[in-house]
Amino acid sequence: MDRGHVVPPSILAPPTATSEGEQEMFLPGETHRLELTRERGIVTEVPAGSEEQLSAPGDETMIINLGPQHPSTHGVLRLMMELDGEEVLRVKPVIGYLHTGMEKTAEDLMYIQGSTNVTRMDYLNPLGNELCFSLAVEQLLDLEVPPRAAAIRVLMAELCRINSHLIWFATSGMDLGATTVMIHGFRERELILRFFERTTGLRMNCDYIRPGGVAADLPDGWADDVAEITSVIPRRLDESRNLLDDNPIFRRRTQGVGILTREEAVALGATGPILRATGVAWDLRKAFPYSGYEQYDFEVPTHDDCDVWARYQVRVAEIYESARIVEQVIETMPAGDYRVQDKKVTPPPRHRIDTSMEALIHHFKLFTEGFKVPPGETYVAVESPKGELGCYLVSDGGARAYRQHTRGPCFYHVHAMPAMMVGGLVADAVLVIGSSDPVLGEVDR
Amino acid sequence: MEFDGWTALIGTGTVVAVFVVVMLMVILAVWAERRVAAVMQTRIGPNRAGPFGLLQTIADGIKLLMKESITPRQVDRLVYELAPLLAVLPAFLALAIVPFGPGFCIGGQGTDCSGGYFVDMQIANLNVGVLWFLSMSAIGVYAALLAGWGSGSKYPLLGGVRASAQVISYEAALSLSVVPVVVAAGTLDTQGIVLAQSQYRWFLLPLFIPALFFFVAALAETNRPPFDLVEAESELVGGFHTEYSGVRFMLFFLAEYVNVVTISALFVTFFLGGWTGPYPVAGSVNWAPLFGAIWFLAKTVCIIGIFFWLRVTLPRLRYDQLMALCWKRLIPINLVYLMAVAVWVAYQATGDLPRLVGGG
């Protein structure tokens, strides 16, 4: 073996063709206008001649893959970047590494099974996904859930929001090398997961909110558990924020970094905290209230700086607002049924199956055939922690959806990443990923 | 004093003793870092291997020794294999000038130890000790640089570029923070610097700003958080050592911690009075050298503790901010401070300030 042979490091000249097809990022000299338009987002048209402004091939730029296996891409996001030293010249997100075909699967599942399917999409917001799907089914069924069911749904959705934001808080601390923040975020989240486990039986992917209500009533002593969550988490979050908020390193890392202007945010379909960080107070809980959100008193935090810092401020403020909503839910939780008393949709209570023939038949038919939904189509959107989570549902009158499509906010935010990253440094790109808080399960579905 | 077998034996013994002490400190430092971080982050930390998990580092070391050292196809073999050695050798060589305690005399008489053997509690009592340390840490830069280049991979390349810029810049800041000490002590000899600080005339107070800057530069020099850009996990995967595994990775890891120990020891030497302490006053008891070593190690451990503390507290800086900090803050302020110290020392010596300032 020729050990002395030195293979020249061909790092600066990557192979020009791979089998990635449409997802390939081309070298500057081979990038045409359509390709650039695609990279920068279809809605922002690239003027003619832009491709000539790209650096010539052979210049000292480097195309690098950030992901899909990379410590800070929050899942299996892959970003192809053209770098000039540390500066990001072009970015192209590549998705599909977590594509599991959940939307197609939904066409083979009965509506009663649908929650189990959608809960896996945004795995940090499982109950929010279930809520969105259930609302869509209920709209097609023209069904009104009892007030207690609606209140439980709000409770769970807001706890999920806190849960999701805590994970974001933790991981964006990790992106900055602030490991203590990371541990703290996960520690606080544990409280919420324990409550989920106690209520639904599962820590994640709860399958708890179902068409017609929720799967089970809240356990005894739930109010104390939740009150502990709402008292502990804001207090501990104050402590964790001490490590970041007034830290000059953190401020200089985040302020003025990853800017997405209001126009760009609207044009690229960004919603949720990213849009609110550009000063737009757009929150579906206020704009189109569902599940009785109009009864609760809460603010929609906004910020005008459009940068990573603004998104940080907005999300942290939302944790406190969600805690406020949860406190109000504890006080105003109505008594009554936790699911709609409609024999065609809701399975009968277990103990009645042994005594009532009719209950047995209903139970059997519900779990073998499912319930039929009148033909029609609907789109229902809820405010997930990431933004507008929509469920588009088409029914042909059967027990299975003809088509189910999810509008995942993260998909649009991944699409907006190049706009935020270009011109920054690699270190900023990592922060941009963190501040858009993508969950690839939802992007790829 | 003649050079004979005893001198050679004493010299060898010193080397072995320093090596053992430092390796023990490194092993404990790796363990302590994880435990301290765990306490600060309300975790448990390693507690399985041995009492309190003390053997964890040894277990990890054995694991790394047993693992395959993967050599990727694209590497530049020579450079790739040289880099870990270049990391670990200067790290240990820099230790040579660390004075662990006052020298003592075996079998001799009087202050000049006539007829006996004088034992320095340091490997080499060089009269240019500070220069030796600075040059060794300068060689250490090549490790990250060559590892980044020789790996033939993109993330290590970025890490190597960062390393070359960062460590070379902070090398300048580090040197400039030491110069006021040298001026104030009037010697490049580390023992001399310690002796200049006896009776609590520690340089920390008069030279507070150089001390602070030395510490900041030391963090950057050893690639410790918040200046760990060279191996920033969330940005560059593993930085310059992404492609290293097994023993070669262990050498980088070892070098980092040896550097932490060395630079903490030198901080103590330069600014915290080295081995001097409240008890005993030099030469008052027979065990003075031992107490000196204890004071020295205790102070060093405190400084290492600050390294750990900062690691769990601070987020990482960005590349351009790091360079701006070095060139726009540390170096200019240090230069001004150096001027002030030089003027003050000259004034002390000559008692004639106007002539100095006016240049007349």
A133 lies in the same domain as A250: yes
Residue A392: which pLDDT band, with cuts at 50, 70 and 90?
very high
Find residue A393's DSSP bridge partners: A378, A404
d(CA A314, CA A274): 8
d(CA B4, CA B43): 55
**Domain-embedded: residue B17:** no
A62 lies in the same domain as A136: no
**Predicted pLDDT of residue B35:** 87
Query: A19: number of CA atoms within 13 Å, CB side?
Result: 0
d(CA B314, CA B308): 10
- CATH number of the domain that residue A336 is part of: 1.10.645.10
Mean pLDDT of B37-52: 84
* Strand, coil or helix: A395: strand
Asked whether B174 and B167 are in contact (CB, 8 A), the reply is: no
Residue type, B63: K
d(CA B173, CA B338): 12
A-chain residues near B226 (CB < 8 A): 177, 249
Distance of CA A179 to the CA centre of its chain: 23
Q: What is the pLDDT of residues A18-63, one digit of tens each?
A: 455 566 676 666 666 667 766 666 555 566 666 666 655 556 778 8
Mean pLDDT of A250-266: 87
Handedness of CA B295, B301, B307, B311 (dihedral sign): negative
Q: What is the DSSP letter of B326?
A: I
Residue A15 has pLDDT above 50, yes or no: no
Tokens linked to B183: 């001026």
Residue B316 to residue A176, Cβ atoms within 8 A? yes
- Domain count across chain A: 2
In 3D, which of A79, A412, A154, A164 has the Cα closest to residue A264?
A: A412
**Domain-embedded: residue A443:** yes
A140 lies in the same domain as A54: no
Which position has the higher pLDDT, A108 or B224? A108
**Domain-embedded: residue B25:** no
Asked whether A397 and A388 are in contact (CB, 8 A), the reply is: no
B-chain residues near A83 (CB < 8 A): 158
Distance of CA A2 to the CA centre of its chain: 52
Please tell me the distance in Å from A331's CA to the nearest CA on chain B. 33
- Domain count across chain B: 1
B-chain residues near A70 (CB < 8 A): 237
Residue B316 to residue A426, Cβ atoms within 8 A? no
Of the ranges A220-224, A407-411, B3-7, B132-136, which one carries the lowest mean pLDDT score?
B3-7
A8 lies in the same domain as A82: yes
In 3D, which of B150, B149, B23, B34 has the Cα closest to residue B88?
A: B23
Please give the ipTM for the structure prediction: 0.80
Of the ranges A80-84, A143-147, A310-314, B209-213, which one carries the lowest mean pLDDT score?
A80-84
Residue A318: which pLDDT band, with cuts at 50, 70 and 90?
very high
SS3 sequence of B247-312: HHHHHHHHHHHHHHHHHHHHHHHHHCCCCCCCCCCCCCCCCHHHHHHHHHHHHHHHHHHHHHHHHH
Q: What is the DSSP letter of A404?
A: E
CB-based contact, A245 to chain B, within 8 Å: no
Residue B76 to residue A86, Cβ atoms within 8 A? no
Q: What is the DSSP string of A41-84?
A: -TTSPPPTTHHHHSPPTTSS-EEEEE-SS-TTSTTT-EEEEEEE
Tokens linked to A277: 């960080």
Tokens linked to A106: 């939904």
A222 lies in the same domain as A358: yes
Asked whether A338 and A213 are in contact (CB, 8 A), the reply is: yes
A89 lies in the same domain as A47: yes
Tokens linked to A139: 């709209």
**Domain-embedded: residue A175:** yes
Residue B131 has pLDDT above 50, yes or no: yes
Residue A2 has pLDDT above 70, yes or no: no
Please tell me the distance in Å from B149's CA to the nearest CA on chain A. 8
Residue A99: which pLDDT band, with cuts at 50, 70 and 90?
confident
Tokens linked to B223: 């690639």
**Predicted pLDDT of residue B360:** 43
**Predicted pLDDT of residue B321:** 85
Residue type, A147: P
Tokens linked to A131: 């809520």
- Model's pTM, two decimal places? 0.84
d(CA B214, CA B222): 12
CB-based contact, B68 to chain A, within 8 Å: no
Percentage of chain A exceeding pLDDT 70 = 87
Strand residues in B178-260 grouped as ranges (E): none
A383 lies in the same domain as A283: yes
d(CA A192, CA A421): 33
Residue A1 has pLDDT above 80, yes or no: no
Mean pLDDT of B110-131: 75
Of the ranges B102-116, B228-242, B289-303, B323-337, which one carries the lowest mean pLDDT score?
B102-116
Report how many Cβ contacts below 8 Å link chain A to chain B: 111
Mean pLDDT of B305-327: 85
Percentage of chain B exceeding pLDDT 70 = 90
* Full residue range of the structural domain in which residue B145 is found: 77-101+125-356
Taking only residues 85 to 104 of chain A, the set having a beta carbon closer than 8 angstroms to any beta carbon of chain B reads 85-86
CA distances from B216 to A176, B297, B321, B329 (A): 18, 21, 14, 11
d(CA B148, CA A319): 42
CB-based contact, B37 to chain A, within 8 Å: yes
Mean pLDDT of A156-163: 92
Handedness of CA B25, B26, B27, B33 (dihedral sign): positive
Q: What is the mean pLDDT of chain A?
A: 84
Residue B76 to residue A3, Cβ atoms within 8 A? no
Q: What is the DSSP string of A252-303?
A: HHHTT-S---HHHHHHTT--THHHHTTT----HHHHS--TTGGGS-------
Handedness of CA B245, B247, B250, B255 (dihedral sign): negative
A91 lies in the same domain as A157: no
Spell out the residues 6+ positions from residue B187 whose beta carbon is closer than 8 angstroms to its own.
B127, B193, B196
Tokens linked to B28: 């404990």
**Domain-embedded: residue A163:** yes
Residue B232 has pLDDT above 80, yes or no: no
**Domain-embedded: residue B277:** yes
CB-based contact, B232 to chain A, within 8 Å: yes
Residue B137: which pLDDT band, with cuts at 50, 70 and 90?
confident
Q: What is the pLDDT of residues B104-117, one digit of tens each?
A: 777 666 666 666 77
* Full residue range of the structural domain in which residue A273 is found: 102-407
d(CA B276, CA B203): 12
Residue A8 has pLDDT above 70, yes or no: no
Mean pLDDT of A414-441: 87
Please tell me the distance in Å from A71's CA to the nearest CA on chain B. 5
Which position has the higher pLDDT, A396 or B232? A396
**Domain-embedded: residue B141:** yes
A53 lies in the same domain as A200: no
Residue B234 to residue A178, Cβ atoms within 8 A? no
Residue B10: which pLDDT band, with cuts at 50, 70 and 90?
confident
In 3D, which of B131, B94, B97, B20 has the Cα closest to residue B269?
A: B97
Asked whether A150 and A340 are in contact (CB, 8 A), the reply is: no
**Predicted pLDDT of residue B120:** 74
Q: What is the pLDDT of residues B265-309, one digit of tens each?
A: 989 988 888 777 776 655 555 667 777 888 888 888 999 989 888
**Domain-embedded: residue A417:** no
Of the ranges A5-19, A334-348, A385-399, B92-106, which one carries the lowest mean pLDDT score?
A5-19
Residue B70: which pLDDT band, with cuts at 50, 70 and 90?
confident
Percentage of chain B exceeding pLDDT 90 = 1
Residue B316 to residue A249, Cβ atoms within 8 A? yes
Residue type, A154: V
Residue A6 to residue B77, Cβ atoms within 8 A? yes
Mean pLDDT of A272-282: 90
A157 lies in the same domain as A92: no
A245 lies in the same domain as A295: yes
A366 lies in the same domain as A271: yes
d(CA B184, CA B196): 8
In 3D, which of A422, A424, A419, A90 has the Cα closest to residue A278?
A: A419
d(CA A56, CA A64): 17
Tokens linked to A172: 């964006």
CA distances from B179 to A193, B174, B182, B313, B334 (A): 56, 9, 5, 30, 9
Mean pLDDT of A84-105: 85
Find residue A379's DSSP bridge partners: A392
**Predicted pLDDT of residue B96:** 85
d(CA B34, CA B36): 6
CB-based contact, B109 to chain A, within 8 Å: no
Residue showing tokens 């005339």: B201
Residue type, B339: M
Residue B78 has pLDDT above 50, yes or no: yes
d(CA A375, CA A339): 23
Burial of residue B174 (CB within 10 Å: 0-12, 13-18, 19+) is: buried
Residue type, A4: G
**Domain-embedded: residue A422:** no
Please tell me the distance in Å from B176's CA to the nearest CA on chain A. 24
